[in-house]
Amino acid sequence: MDEDLQAIKKRLETKLRENSHELKEFSRERTEQMAREMKSEIGRLDMRMSGLERLIWNRLLVFAAGVFLGLAMAAIGLMLLSV
């Protein structure tokens, strides 16, 4: 009877170790997959941010060129009126 209990206990311990190892392996794989997904998402966000930065700079340069052109035309207009 005692030997049967010891055998059952050993089988349960072995099964527990195997399941623990499988769980660790599953957790490691899942963690690696999540890390890859996060890196991919960060890469996509970086691309979007650089696209937005480029758009903002383009708009800012167009605005500055418009201001400069407007001031130049106003100065020419004032010079023509004063003549």
What is the residue-wise DSSP string for 17-38? HHHHHHHHHHHHHHHHHHHHHH
Residue 69, pLDDT score: 97
Residue 63, pLDDT score: 98
User: What are the Cα distances from residue 8, in Å, to 11, 16, 35, 43?
Assistant: 5, 12, 40, 52
What distance, in Å, lies between the first and last C-alpha atoms of the chain?
A: 121
Residue 8, pLDDT score: 84
Task: From first to last of the 83 residues of the chain, give the pLDDT tens digit.
Answer: 778 888 888 888 888 888 888 888 888 888 899 999 999 999 999 999 999 999 999 999 999 999 999 999 999 999 999 87
Question: Which helix (H) or strand (E) is 52 found in, with range?
Answer: helix 2-82
Residue 58, pLDDT score: 97
How far is it, in rounded angstroms, from Cα 80 to Cα 83?
Answer: 5
